[in-house]
Amino acid sequence: MMIFEDPTWLYVILAMVWIVLAGLWWSRRSKMLAVSLCIPVLAVGALILVDHLVVTDREEIVQALGDLSGHLDNRRYDALADCLADDFSTPGLENNTGKFAVENLCKVTCERFKVTRFIIKSVDVDISSDGIAATVTVGTLVFTDGGSSRIPIRWIMQMVKKDDRWLIQKISDCNTHIEGISG
């Protein structure tokens, strides 16, 4: 899966192969070397195509988190339920579980602290060997008071894959003032 997550190293290798072949062609002017210059170029084209066609679990998780961030930015609290598993839980909502409680908590919190923007700065994904669960650490930057204050928050959550969608099952930790996450 590393090939699909970040194929940059393959692009670098193919570029180096092309440079070596171009140097050989320049010194020998062989027709065979001229034709072989097409191989790395075709390989890069195929790699770009495959990279766009294959969507990995990590990319799906990052997209799901991006959707969540967009819902918060656009004040679409009712849409948050689409990002949560049916058995969602989080500290602070033990006695008041359910998607409506999360929707209400987010709405009240965002209004109380005048949250204007919610930016995802980093995502670290550890997918289980069976491919249906993941522990995700998300570094966010929350802008409050009309954008005058920035609060870095680290979230640790468990996500599950249900019906080919990654959903948040549990938020196990939320920590502010994290080193390395700043505006």
Write out the DSSP string of 101-160.
Answer: HHHHHHHHHHHHTT--EEEEEEEEEEE-TTSSEEEEEEEEEEEEGGGTEEEEEEEEEEEE
What's the rounded mean pLDDT across residues 14-24?
93
d(CA 65, CA 166): 9
pLDDT by residue (tens digit) across 86-105?
888 776 665 555 677 778 87
pTM for the whole thing? 0.71
Say whether 85 sits in a helix, a strand or coil: strand
Main-chain phi, psi angles of 57, to 5 degrees: -60, -40
Which candidate, 170, 180, 166, places its Cα nearest to that of 61?
166
Local confidence band at 144 (pLDDT 50, 70, 90 cut-offs):
confident
- Per-residue model confidence (pLDDT) at position 26: 92
Per-residue pLDDT, averaged over 105-130, amounts to 86
* pLDDT > 90: percent of the chain: 27
> In Å, how far from its chain's centre is CA 134?
12
Whether the predicted pLDDT of 155 surpasses 90: no
- Judged against a pLDDT cut of 80, whether residue 21 lies above it is answered with yes
133 falls in which pLDDT band (50, 70, 90)? very high
| Average pLDDT of the segment spanning 167-175 | 82
98 φψ region: left (φ > 0), alpha (ψ -120 to 50), beta (else): left
Return the minimum-mean-pLDDT range out of 17-21, 33-37, 65-69, 111-115. Answer: 111-115
Average pLDDT over residues 114-134: 89
Write down the mean pLDDT value for the chain: 83
